[in-house]
Amino acid sequence: MDKLTRSRNLILITLGIIATVAVMMLFQGTFNRPNTIQISDVAEAVKQGNVDKITVSNDDIVVKFKDGRPDATSKKESGATIGEQLKEFGVTSDQLAAVKIDVNSPFNWGDVLGTASLFLTPLIVLLIFWFMFRQAQGANSQAMSFGRSRARMFAGDRPTVTFQDVAGVDEAKQELAEVVEFLKEPEKFIQLGARIPKGVLLIGSPGTGKTLLAKAVSGEAGVPFFSISGSEFVEMFVGVGASRVRDLFEQAKRHSPCIVFVDEIDAVGRHRGSGLGGGHDEREQTLNQILVEMDGFDTDTNVIVVAATNRPDILDPALMRPGRFDRRVVLDRPDMKGREAILKVHSRGKPLAADVDLTKVAKSIPGFAGADIENLVNEAAILAARRSRKSISMSEFDESIERVMIGPERKSRLMTPKEKSITAYHEAGHAVVAQLLPNCDPVHKVTIIPRGLSGGYTWSLPEEDEHYISRAKFTDELAKGLGGRAAEEIIFGDVTTGASSDLQHVTEIARDMVTRYGMSEMMGPMIYGQKHEMIFLGRDLGEQRDYSDAVALEIDREVQRLVNAAYVQAKKVLTERRAILDAVAQRLIEVETIEEDEFRKFFQEPVATGDAASDDAPFNPRAKIPTTNSKDGSSATGAVPAPAPA
């Protein structure tokens, strides 16, 4: 509520109070007027000694009785006193002396206010109606402004974000640098006949920095920046979205050169004809207006539209054609160098301890986007403050990584000795299989401390960023995922529910190998089934089968074969290296957590296997894993921790 509205309300309230008081005073005499009696009745009451007080005001008198009767009014003759008037009716001087007589001044404020209220009341009523009319006009103007754009404008003279604040997306910054150059020197391009890019579409998964990059473009160019969300165009009233689009682009033209940034444009840019309202859907009218406005720009307008979305597959083709969004800039999740650069940006201004190695931190957070890294640094700072430290150390970063990826420690959860033993062997099974199979990622950490929804986890990190996964790696990952269940069966002769999430993960990998990646020799290099989704709803509704029931049966059998083969392999590895499994599990029961260096030592000493004698040389099952304690091969990428039994 603005100051003008508050002032109007205050004036209305004051006028209402004044009017109420005036009306009450005007009618006070009508509602509260005492009984009127004759002067002879007053004299008779005085004779009886029943009058306590007589108040005289001009020719009006008010009589107060002793017996509790209501006060009464009467009139005396003009020019005569009340005493003279009563004596004419036979009241003696002694009787008159027993009555208290008050004579008021002839000037009466009540009469004056009562008379003034006769003139003030109509005036106050007129003022109230006038203010009500003004309020109605204000409400009408607000209704007329309902279709105005709600875009927020940021001046470009004081940029808060520049390209220096954006890291890990060098290719995207290079693409947008030309947009900045055009906004600064448009004549350079116009002289050569180059067409001005009318729109730039930023495509990337959530948290990759699309909005931040758009602000950086505005900050670098030093031009006004209009920011609005796609959902802000759409209201329950038809036509409001299109009106707001028109108003937004009119403002942009008045402030050109400038940038119009539409975040989450898929809220209004979906395929036309897919809405529940048909061709008259409000979203479609808004999209039509956006298409008209973008295609109607002149070459000297100098207004560039930047939009962001993480669902480019559902956008309308007319929005994607040249002349609308001429450029598409893809923002992918950063690699190791990009993560390190983003860590440096978000660590700027924060006190870091001498032991902090941002390169090592970057290797430990594969798959993290810019927003994830910012959250990680913030969690580390919060943890350091909670520990009353003056700087952020490496231990806070390590704790924050596990906290963000898996969840906080559940220190209050107590496990029985049996549960602790089952969890230790379960996680030892995952870790030993992962270390012994050549295509699994090296083990970074094994713990049985409950964290998040898991009772324990095995954390693996690949040696380098991977963009393609081979069939051999998938096969070994299946065996690793089943290592926990295999260890339970080998040691305890029974299995628990702790492997439920492992089984789900393994089954999904095996089915994708058969139906998505063509990695089944029996089913061949084909894709089975098509993803079916409704564009308007924007979500996957399941798989559309394009194969027969006989093929579905073969797919199920092949998935079952892959899982069973991986389970047999996991049991074989753990049976042959039973001594290592026991040693790792017992160590977990003792210390609860085994780091990478200590874990590798279990595989560097001669260990007796199931039926064979001790080896003469240190066991080295992975050619790519050195037998020394060097950490050079411990660079990180995504590892899915396998939950241990609850």
| Catalytic residue ranges | 427
How many other CB atoms are there within 10 angstroms of residue 528's CB atom? 20
Contact between 481 and 565 under an 8 Å Cβ cutoff? The reply is: no
* 490 membership: H or E segment, kind and range: helix 483-492
10 Å CB burial of residue 532 (0-12, 13-18, 19+) is exposed
DSSP per-residue codes, 246-299: HHHHHHHHHT-SEEEEEESGGGT-BPTT-STTGGG-HHHHHHHHHHHHHHT--T
Q: For residue 393, what are the contacts with CB-CB under 8 A and spacing of at least 6?
A: 353, 355, 356, 384
Contact between 8 and 131 under an 8 Å Cβ cutoff? The reply is: yes
Q: Which of 409, 457, 463 is nearest to 625 (CA)?
A: 463
* 453 membership: H or E segment, kind and range: none
Cα torsion 582, 588, 590, 594 to 10°: value is: 120
Q: For residue 476, what are the contacts with CB-CB under 8 A and spacing of at least 6?
A: 437, 438, 439, 440
Q: Take residue 359 and report the two structure tokens written for it.
A: 């390169």
Contact between 73 and 33 under an 8 Å Cβ cutoff? The reply is: yes
Q: 3-class DSSP state for residue 624?
A: coil
10 Å CB burial of residue 301 (0-12, 13-18, 19+) is middle
Q: How far apart are CA 156 and CA 134, in angstroms?
A: 38
Contact between 55 and 10 under an 8 Å Cβ cutoff? The reply is: no
DSSP per-residue codes, 515-574: HTS---TTT-S----EEEEETTTTEEEEEEP-S-HHHHHHHHHHHHHHHHHHHHHHHHHH
The verdict on whether omega for the bond into residue 257 sits within 30 degrees of 0, i.e. cis, is yes
Q: 3-class DSSP state for residue 636?
A: coil
Q: Which of 282, 329, 283, 284 is nearest to 304 (CA)?
A: 329
Contact between 476 and 440 under an 8 Å Cβ cutoff? The reply is: yes
Paired with 101 in beta bridges are 54
**CA-based R_g, the chain, Å:** 43
